[in-house]
Amino acid sequence: MEERLWSGRAKLVIAQTTEGEIGVMAGHEPLLGQLVEGGIIAITTVDDERMVAAVHGGFLSVTAETVTVLAESADWSTDIDIEEAREALHHWSAEATADEKAALRARGRIRAVERS
């Protein structure tokens, strides 16, 4: 299911890519980056509102005028149950045959809440 989570004007977008964390402001050079599994996106709007989401895979596309994030899934930090995420991380960390993607997703959700 495709869904637009947010659209608007931002002062700064921070994303965790496979090349490292990147901050994007207006007029940034064009780029395409691969998002890390269990990473976060942080947006500071022109009204100084800070919004943080856990993102799971996907890409970040930057032009001089726009930033587009295409993620497999995303969770706003305000919608995350932190105790549930910690429990999921503990569960996957304790299992010998842990699903690495599920553990990364849980870590990303925890980081999103902690950074918001």
The CATH number that domain 8-116 falls under is 2.60.15.10
- Work out the pLDDT band at 108, boundaries 50, 70, 90: confident
Label residue 28 exposed, middle or buried (CB < 10 Å: 0-12, 13-18, 19+).
middle
- Assigned token pair, 49: 């509102």
- CA-closest candidate to residue 6, choices 48, 46, 53, 65: 53
Distance CA(102)–CA(37), nearest Å, equals 9
- Which pLDDT tens digit goes with each residue over 28-84? 999 999 999 889 999 999 999 999 999 988 999 999 889 999 998 999 999 999 999
pTM of the model: 0.79
Instruction: Tell me which H or E stretch contains 55.
Output: strand 50-62
